[in-house]
Chains A and B, each alone.
Chain A
Amino acid sequence: MKGPSIRLVTRRQFLGMGLVAGSAAAAGGAALVNLLSGTASRASAVPSAAIALGSATPGPASTPPPLSTWLTAPRIRPVRDLAARRLVVIDMAGGNDGLSMVPPIDDARYRQLRPRTALDPASVLAITPGVGLHPGLPGLYAAGAAIVQGVGITKPDLSHFEMLRRWWSGDVDSVHQTLTGFLGRLADHVGDPTAAAAGVSLGYGPSPALISERVVTLSMDPYGDGSFPAPAGLDAATAWTAAWREMAEYDPSEPVPFCSARNGAAYAYRFSQLAGGLPAAATGYPETELGAQLLLAARMLAQDNGIRIVHVPFHGDFDSHEDHLARHAALMTELDDALAAFRADLAARGIADRVLIATTSEFGRRVPDNASNGLDHGAASFAFLAGPVAAGLYGTYPSLATLDADKDLVATVSMLDYYATIAESWFGVPAADVLAGHPSPIAGII
């Protein structure tokens, strides 16, 4: 079907200005405990707080929990070709409680501060004598992951929306107020501007994390197929497509809302061509939204179609001000089940060495629990990188003895260093090109 060619406008024309460079106070170097290699880190003088806590305060268990198979599990080696590498970010908006995802097993303070919401130490999947994984994560436990402990921001805010903005934009102190998202800037560096999309968010509505300047990023309904519906009948369908393409033609003389509407249509049309050519779906995924999202992510990443980054908004009930234990446990199970199917899918497609999985969440939760068996907004939390990584505990376990003024965990790893690991260690993009504040990747993960 012939029609006028659609002219696309770059996002730069709307944004007007780019990433504001500048210096921001970055947290100091992250301590590293690489359980696999035992290699030194740039903060190797710092003892592992996790292990120290575990040995200093013996728990009630009479026999120490077994050490993780992570010590011996074979790792997936990352593909050498940087251009073949892809990223999936699972965004756990709402505030994922790090202390429940990566609980301290033997720290008596954990149970003192959380009489209603502490996990039973006997149920925790032990990584070391002092630190384990939530019992709902057996798949992740078996496969291994690089757990980043105490990730957060030096001067945190307790608002969801302010902290989401900082995590999405990669703006640690809210000074730079960048218009682009961290993942968008990353896509600008690793993506092809002529591709139908370099970054895709599998959610409803646009994702601020993916706002880019140079490449196309867009959102897609995780249950949709991206196809472009037209009315029945060949003449009507032909007329429809031609008219649709004409209306999608960008006209810079028009006001911004018109340009946005026309561009949205143009990008949608082009992306529908890509979506129509995706490989078939795999079976074996749980019937959850996260399962549907990761199923689609695997299809998108299995071919060379230009998509380098897939953002997965995990629409989970993480904001557990009430009934934390049961609600959080359901989320961990949902995560683990979907990830297990995703790992199997990637392996079957032969791309397990190409896909790095990363998690984000705007904050962890208050350390002491409240009367409703819940946890209010907190600060530092835990994240993990999975796939072709060296499994282990990275950074220092945040102290339960020294909390901040709001009784929240103090960050031991900067969000910027976590992001720098993804940019530099995985994609080979110098951290300084996409992040302010001179962050450094966490050594040894990739």
Chain B
Amino acid sequence: MAVDRVLAAHLLRRATFGPFPGQVAASAAAPTFDAAVAAILSATPSPLPAAPDLTLKGAAPVTWWLARMADPNAGLAEKLTWFWHGHLTSSRAKVNDWGVMWQQHLLLRTHALGSFRALLQAVTVDPAMLWYLDGGRSTAAAPNENYARELMELFGLGRGGYTEADVTAGAYALSGWRLDRLTGTARFVPANGPRHSVMFLGRQVSSSTEVVDAVCDHPDCAPWIAGKLHAYLAGEPPTPERRAKLATLFRAANLEIKPLVTAILADPTFPTARLNRPRYPVEWVMGAMGAFGLSNPAAATRYLIAAGQVPFRPPSVAGWPTGMGWLAPSLALARDAVAAKAPAIEAVAGAKDPVAATLERCSLFEVSDRTVAALRGAAGGVGNAQRRASTILGLAVASPEFALA
């Protein structure tokens, strides 16, 4: 193998919802790590399954998406679609219509690796976003500030580079959009929109398009997005120098997302940034179900409810938090409940060394002595081969190593 399995597994954990069983060996067969990165970037995702039935009560899009994530060939595009859902958020908890939530989902999917400017332009007047952040009835006479503030604070710039006057002016220039909740469509009503241009982020703007362009052209935009993507893919915020370099690259690429992602994954620091952040719940449950050989969106959803990361239901407009908080005790209990239901799979039950087979199945290639000893102890304590197999597979999934990305 030309690429260390440890590095191949790391790359797949970060850039996809894998590794699914067998994927590490395939990725490790690439001649170099850069080639393995290139293969992920150029892979064509498997075709999308038919859309969920949006007329049903319940959460068909949630199970649809979890089933899609469980497709080993969904790849990088799926991971980036999920990233943007946590960044340019809308929640079904407020947007009481699956039709518009699904439209937004397709929009994120379309632009996930495309132009950030096109993505932000589209999401700004997207019906679900107009609903979620209250732009759908905002008029120039009494503008609603919700979207204007979050557009800068969370979506495009981060705090520090704008003022309350920019919030007020942005809200004015963004006004005039009218959301029809019955049809799930939005249109611009000039009579409700801005009457004159206003000073916003240092330039005159008089439309939502000009507002979004002003955000995208602001010096804080490229470093903000680069920092967010770096924290997600590399597991930690970039150093100031690295952030500046990535921002320069992102700007030079006309805010195209794919070159930015490429730069983060291909950087020499990326291979060493292993196991430095938790597997967030969606990533964890995909890994667990993959190791179990199951695609069980219903069981995955139950876990994600307990863990607090249900797709289409971010906890706030800031999306899901990042960081070590996901290793808290309540999450350990939620993971344990999934792990304790591990199946007995033949790859483990029939193996000469069930512990080694379990670790391979879980794509765990750098494991502490303590965890190996715990698994060996458990394997020795259960006589029945089937029950032994399910017990140690479950324990591997419950291990601290598996909890990290």
Q: Does B153 contact A (CB under 8 A)?
A: yes
Most buried by A among B143, B329, B337: B329
Most buried by B among A221, A224, A251, A373: A221
Chain A residues 212-248 with CB under 8 Å of chain B are 218-221, 223-224, 226-231, 233, 235-236, 238-240, 242-244, 246-247
Known contacts A204-B315, A229-B336, A321-B145: A243-B276 contact under CB 8 Å: no
B405 to chain A, nearest CB (A): 9
A331 to B192 Cα, complex, angstroms? 31
Q: Does A329 contact B (CB under 8 A)?
A: no
A268 to B390 Cα, complex, angstroms? 22
Q: Does A23 contact B (CB under 8 A)?
A: no
Known contacts A224-B306, A371-B137: A246-B370 contact under CB 8 Å: yes
Indicate the size class of the contact surface on chain A: 35 or more
Q: Does B48 contact A (CB under 8 A)?
A: no
CB pair A251–B326 under 8 Å, yes or no, is no
Partner of B144, one of A219, A258, A372: A372
Q: Does A350 contact B (CB under 8 A)?
A: no
A246 to B388 Cα, complex, angstroms? 18
Q: Does B399 contact A (CB under 8 A)?
A: yes
CB pair B134–A247 under 8 Å, yes or no, is no
CB-CB < 8 A to A231: which residues of B? 340-342, 387, 390-391, 394
A73 to chain B, nearest CB (A): 37
Known contacts A246-B373, A265-B332, A376-B144: A258-B134 contact under CB 8 Å: no
Known contacts A244-B336, A321-B146, A371-B144: A206-B404 contact under CB 8 Å: no
Known contacts A158-B149, A238-B381, A240-B395: A251-B321 contact under CB 8 Å: no
Q: Does B316 contact A (CB under 8 A)?
A: yes
CB pair B329–A219 under 8 Å, yes or no, is yes
A374 to B394 Cα, complex, angstroms? 50
Q: Does B124 contact A (CB under 8 A)?
A: no
A119 to B133 Cα, complex, angstroms? 24
CB pair B308–A247 under 8 Å, yes or no, is no
Partner of A370, one of B138, B277, B317, B379: B138
In the complex, which residue of chain B has the Cβ closest to the Cβ of A161? B318
In the complex, which residue of chain A has the Cβ closest to the Cβ of B304? A204
CB pair B144–A374 under 8 Å, yes or no, is yes
Q: Does A256 contact B (CB under 8 A)?
A: yes
CB pair B370–A162 under 8 Å, yes or no, is no
CB-CB < 8 A to B143: which residues of A? 370-371
A427 to B13 Cα, complex, angstroms? 47
Chain B residues 373-405 with CB under 8 Å of chain A are 373-375, 377-379, 381-384, 387-388, 390-391, 394-395, 398-401, 403-404
CB pair A218–B330 under 8 Å, yes or no, is yes
Chain B residues 58-97 with CB under 8 Å of chain A are 93-94
CB-CB < 8 A to A230: which residues of B? 340
Q: Does B122 contact A (CB under 8 A)?
A: no
CB-CB < 8 A to B337: which residues of A? 229
A220 to B331 Cα, complex, angstroms? 9
CB pair A246–B159 under 8 Å, yes or no, is no
CB pair B400–A228 under 8 Å, yes or no, is no
CB-CB < 8 A to A206: which residues of B? 325, 328, 330
CB-CB < 8 A to B326: which residues of A? 205
Q: Does A333 contact B (CB under 8 A)?
A: no
CB pair A372–B137 under 8 Å, yes or no, is yes
Q: Does B278 contact A (CB under 8 A)?
A: yes
With A235-B384, A240-B340, A319-B146 given, can you name 5 additional A-B contacts, CB distance below 8 Å? Answer: A204-B306, A257-B404, A258-B368, A268-B333, A371-B142
Interface residues of A (CB under 8 A from B): 93-94, 158-162, 203-206, 218-221, 223-224, 226-231, 233, 235-236, 238-240, 242-244, 246-247, 249, 251, 254-258, 260-265, 267-268, 271-272, 315, 317, 319, 321-322, 368-374, 376-377, 406
The 6 closest A-B pairs by CB, nearest first: A204-B308, A261-B400, A371-B142, A239-B381, A268-B329, A321-B134
Cβ contacts A to B, 14 pairs, < 8 Å = A158-B167, A219-B329, A221-B333, A224-B306, A229-B337, A231-B394, A233-B387, A239-B378, A239-B379, A239-B381, A242-B381, A247-B370, A247-B395, A321-B146
